[in-house]
Amino acid sequence: MDATTHAADPRSMHSFAEFYPFYLNEHANRTCRRLHFVGSTLGLLCVALAIATATWWWVLVGLLCGYAFAWIGHFGFEKNKPASFKRPLYSFMGDWVMYKDIWTGKIPF
């Protein structure tokens, strides 16, 4: 399979290492990345609240925050469909690797 196949269809990728460059390309817009970062941070805060208060519906609020901010970024700014529609596990992993890469300065915020 060539690179054009991969760019068109992330389902053809067989490893996360192969998928992550595609994932980053799908997040080239800075506002989209920022919205992902905010959504992920709110999601983590909601999980912490769920643990601290033993109120488990906060986990659902956290998922809603994470996905709502990400999808606004994709549909409103990046003008593409989230990779989670085609590679949900790799996309979820990519969210957290990108989150770490933003924190560590590897990706501009």
Give the pLDDT confidence of 15-42 residue by residue, as tens digits. Answer: 999 999 999 999 999 999 999 999 999 9
Domain assignment present for residue 1? The answer is no
Domain assignment present for residue 46? The answer is yes
Domain count, the chain: 1
Q: Specify the pLDDT at position 10.
A: 85
Domain assignment present for residue 13? The answer is no
Closest CA relative to residue 94, chosen from 30, 8, 24? 24
Instruction: Tell me the residue range of the domain where 29 lies.
Output: 19-103
Domain assignment present for residue 90? The answer is yes
Helix (H) or strand (E) holding 30: helix 30-53
Confidence of residue 7 (pLDDT cuts 50, 70, 90): low
Domain assignment present for residue 97? The answer is yes
Q: What is the pTM of this model?
A: 0.86
Helix (H) or strand (E) holding 104: none
Give pLDDT tens digits for 45-89: 999 999 999 999 999 999 999 999 999 999 999 999 887 888 999
Closest CA relative to residue 83, chosen from 51, 104, 73? 73
Q: Specify the pLDDT at position 9.
A: 80
Domain assignment present for residue 35? The answer is yes
Backbone angles phi, psi at 72, to 5 degrees: -60, -40
Domain assignment present for residue 24? The answer is yes
Domain assignment present for residue 66? The answer is yes
